[in-house]
Amino acid sequence: MNSEKCIDLHAHPIPEGFAEELKNLGIDPIEEDGFPLPKWSLEAHREFMQEAGISHTVLTLPTPHILNGDDQKAYETAVRMNDRMASYVKEDPEHFSFCACLPLPYAEGSLKEIKRAFDELGCVGVKVPTNANGIYLGDPLLDSIMEEMNRRKLLCIIHPCRARQIPRNVITGKVMAVYEYPADTTRAVLNMIANRIMTRYPDITWVIPHTGSFLAYELQRFKGVSGILASLKMMDQVDAEAEVKNLYFDIAGDPEPNALEMLLKITDQDHIVYGSDWPHSPAKVICAKKNHFENNPAWAGMLDRIYFENAERILKR
């Protein structure tokens, strides 16, 4: 790779014991995601970063999310996984930092873990699922957590989660990455817009995955339909433009040939960051995409911002 500096805001460790933790929670990755947990080690991640020209990675726990309806179990799992991620950062702080996972929708446990992860473990933000057992971002049940994240001016990285009910007899219901993940991301962000999360809690820095998922398409539709609903007194009027203007978007997945062009209709180059999605995406695929970015004149004027300038600004808040 040609780049010397690149910050990856969408990459996942598979911490030691994670598979066993999921089993203890009654969660099967194949059943939940339609995809097995990939192999991972800190050394393998460093080797990938060197190959791909990535200088620093913010680790976030992958799906399946640690949710099974047992708040205490989920909380204890979050504590152990955050301790494990903190140990990776302690071993190699030059190349790694991490965002803490939370036992959403368990508010008391999430607030306790936010305090511990920041004050004791030194995390740089939190990672939250699009929904937690069907409780979506934007739900009033999560307001106390939003208030604390806003008070602390947190970086909050969103990662998709399977919706609780999906059709299983079609391909989109068998492998979540095909459709359900971007659909659930879009569903969550629209719910956040409808509940004015970004303007009510303006000091949270949100990163939306996968080039915004379907948001660039859905935003105009949402504005039209919500305007009609507001005129009928079926929902409050929402300034969708104000809600999305400060969101950040990572380019994990497939920003080319269409998604980035669409995303730039609703945001600007100062709000786009790099994401690899390693190890769930193969290194050779990630490197090929990155090489394309670096040799495509269409990307030339924005690569520094996407690769590191925007992420540095986020991480320095």
Task: Tell me whether residue 1 is in a domain.
Answer: no
Task: Tell me whether residue 159 is in a domain.
Answer: yes
1 pLDDT higher than 50: no
Per-residue model confidence as pLDDT tens digits over 194-240: 999 999 999 999 999 999 999 999 999 999 999 999 999 999 999 99
Q: Which H, E and C letters describe 41-67, residue by residue?
A: CHHHHHHHHHHHCCCEEEECCCCCCCC
Task: Tell me whether residue 122 is in a domain.
Answer: yes
In this prediction the pTM is 0.96
Task: Tell me whether residue 2 is in a domain.
Answer: no
Task: Tell me whether residue 229 is in a domain.
Answer: yes
Task: Tell me whether residue 28 is in a domain.
Answer: yes
Task: Tell me whether residue 151 is in a domain.
Answer: yes
For residue 131, the model assigns a pLDDT of 97
Handedness of CA 259, 265, 267, 268 (dihedral sign): positive
Q: How confident is the model at residue 277 (pLDDT cuts 50, 70, 90)?
A: very high
317 pLDDT higher than 80: no
Residue where the block lists tokens 């204890």? 76
Which tokens go with 18? 């994670």
Region 275-279 average pLDDT: 99
For residue 3, the model assigns a pLDDT of 56
Task: Tell me whether residue 139 is in a domain.
Answer: yes
Q: How confident is the model at residue 69 (pLDDT cuts 50, 70, 90)?
A: confident
State how many domains the chain has: 1
Q: For the chain, what percent of residues have pLDDT higher than 90?
A: 95
Residues spanned by the domain of 232: 7-315
Distance CA 252, CA 208 (A): 10
CATH code where residue 303 lies: 3.20.20.140
